[in-house]
Amino acid sequence: MSAPALSPVSRLRGLRPDWIRDPKVWRTEVLAGLVVALALIPEAISFSIIAGVDPRIGLFAAFTMAVTISVVGGRRAMISAATGAVALVIAPLNREHGLGHLVACVILAGVFQVALGALGVAKLMRFVPRSVMVGFVNALAVLIFVAQVPEMTDVPWPVYPLIVAGLVLMVLFPKVTKVVPAPLVSIVILTVVTVAAGIAVPTVGDKGELPSALPVPGLPDVPFTLDTLTTIAPYALAMALVGLMESLMTAQLVDDITDTRSNKTRESIGQGIANIVTGFFGGMGGCAMIGQTMINVKVSGARTRLSTFLAGSFLMVLCIVFGPVVSDIPMAALVAVMVMVSFATFDWHSIAPRTLRRMPAGEIAVMVITVAVVVATSNLAIGVVVGSVTAMVVFARRVAHVAEVTAVVDPDGGQVVYRVTGELFFASSNDLVTQFRYATDPDRVVIDLSGTHIWDASSVAALDAIETKYAQRGKQVEIIGLNAPSARLHERLSGELTAGH
């Protein structure tokens, strides 16, 4: 007998993810979203100050970015909102031309990100070496901690015991139960203590005014002219590149933590859509937030889009409905959360003496340079680019001398066979010309390339130079053993790379 047909309702139920029917997952995701929302508020306000806009502009961006990316993004549980890197890029534009140009820039940056995502920019992630990724993670941890330092300097003395108490709570509470995230417990307890005891310490309310209503969509207040486009385009492109770099690196980090794969192309396009939506709602734009993502994924254990959606939704609810309560949260409680995130994010294994003794010096140098550049510039994207370029240089130097040439002369002295092994590219082929005995070799020379591969025009030019030097002495050269790709490249370029051709 054939199986009974499923009703439409049953089919729809089958399409729902398993987590929708799991109360434990719901609890984890809801509480994680609440913790992230609390942590987003002071961060968004701080980034608004960096960009030179009203704090509400940053909070609106955090709301719209998180809610939108939860639907269109390619990495579940990752948090996107207003970020410091984006704020630094667009601050000069806002300072010189005003909020209207900034909002238009955010929309154009989103368009650029959608285009770059569709063109496959996410595939460039494969060129980021592991040493750069480790440096990125460690630099991130350092930046998260450094960002908390201003909240721990020139403050009333009760701030310090409150931070210590928050850290102790987050370390010990999970030993009692993990039903409720320890950061949420810490924030609630420290807020109750400071309010009940009347302890005068900096609070969230001191950072800026919270919004009292939802953002309203609209067009940016700018003239729609070519002059406006040329003004905002450079800033928009820079914002798009920085935002994609940080988002894709964060997505890769979450992939590693959760042992799952994300759709980087969808994430790239999703970031663009989120920025377009944010711009039309008057927000300052943003990208993936690494610190808040670590709170969501590593500290709170969230794994689905629900936590991302709720982080943005709770943010507005907390600001609009519970604004007075949220304003009383001591900054010390949120600093303690971020310090714990910094500690948990740092890859301590990467700097263990045993690891350093076994790691190649070049890999260590790449990691250190990545960390140093990120910390010096406060820009993760610049650090990743510099680290990746450094890794490429280290790799090129390492393999530059891999190509080896061995010569075997026939017993009768009629010919010599040179066997070349290793990879031939611009770094290794430069020394290739010097490894032949042009003056003393027999009249017939065979170059066996069966143990190598020709990668570029520099290698073809080197082989041409070798043939020319032998020809000047009236000697004949035969190249054998080329694999198919090398043979095609050699045939196409040989004799075409010297002057006069």
Q: Tell me, what's the pLDDT at 219?
A: 92
Catalogue the E-assigned strands of 61-190: 80-81
Work out the percent of the chain whose per-residue pLDDT is above 70: 94
pLDDT digits (tens, 9 = 90+) for 269-301: 999 999 999 999 999 999 999 888 988 998 888
Query: What is the rounded CA–CA span in Å between residue 86 and residue 215?
Result: 20
Average pLDDT over residues 97-123: 94
Q: Are strands 415-424 and 404-409 parallel, antiparallel or unpaired?
A: antiparallel
pLDDT for 15 beyond 60? no
Q: Is 459's pLDDT higher than 80?
A: yes
Q: Which two tokens stand for residue 449?
A: 């390339």
pLDDT over 90 at 414, yes or no: no
H helices present in 441-498, as ranges? 457-471, 484-493
Burial tier of 311 (Cβ tally within 10 Å: 0-12, 13-18, 19+): buried
Asked if the model's pLDDT at residue 360 lies above 90, the reply is no
Span 108-114, mean pLDDT?
Answer: 96
Residue 1 clears pLDDT 50, i.e. is over it: no
- What is the reported pLDDT for 84? 80
Give pLDDT tens digits for 28-49.
999 999 999 988 988 888 788 7
- Interatomic CA distance for residues 319 and 62, integer angstroms: 12
- Give per-residue pLDDT as tens, 230-277: 999 999 998 998 899 889 989 988 998 899 999 999 999 999 999 999
Instruction: Give the best-scoring range by mean pLDDT among 91-95, 106-110, 218-222, 349-353.
Output: 106-110
Q: Please report the pLDDT score of residue 255 as a whole number.
A: 93
* Predicted confidence (pLDDT) at residue 4 exceeds the cutoff of 60: no
CB contact set of 141 (below 8 Å; sequence gap of 6+): 342, 343, 345, 346, 347
pLDDT over 80 (residue 159)? yes
**What pLDDT was estimated at residue 501?**
42
pLDDT score for 358: 85
Strand partners for 405: 420
Predicted confidence band at 500 (pLDDT cuts at 50, 70, 90)? very low
- Euclidean distance between CA atoms 368 and 350, whole angstroms: 11
User: Do 246 and 36 form a contact (C-beta atoms < 8 A)?
Assistant: no
Q: What is the pLDDT of the chain when averaged over all its residues?
A: 87
pLDDT value at residue 21:
62
Question: Would the pLDDT of 14 be above 60?
Answer: no
**pLDDT 10s digits, 461-473:** 999 999 999 999 9
Query: 130 vs 366, which has greater pLDDT?
Result: 366
Q: What percent of the chain has pLDDT over 90?
A: 46
What pLDDT does 274 receive?
A: 97
Pairing of strands 444-454, 476-480: parallel
* Residues 162-191 pLDDT 10s: 999 999 999 998 888 877 888 888 999 999
65: enclosing H helix or E strand: helix 55-72
CB 427 within 8 A of CB 397: yes
> What are 483's two structure tokens?
């694999």
Residue 396 has pLDDT above 80, yes or no: no
Asked whether the beta carbons of 449 and 477 are under 8 A apart, the reply is: no
> Residue 123 pLDDT more than 90?
no
Angle subtended by helix axes 457-471 and 484-493, to nearest 10: 70
Is pTM beyond 0.85 here?
no
Please count the CA atoms within 13 angstroms of the CA of 410 that sit on its side-chain side: 11
Extract long-range pairs of 474-479: CB within 8 Å, 24+ residues apart: 474/443, 475/438, 475/441, 475/442, 475/443, 475/444, 475/445, 476/443, 476/444, 476/445, 477/445, 477/446, 477/447, 478/444, 478/445, 478/446, 478/447, 479/447, 479/449
Please tell me the predicted confidence (pLDDT) of residue 18.
54
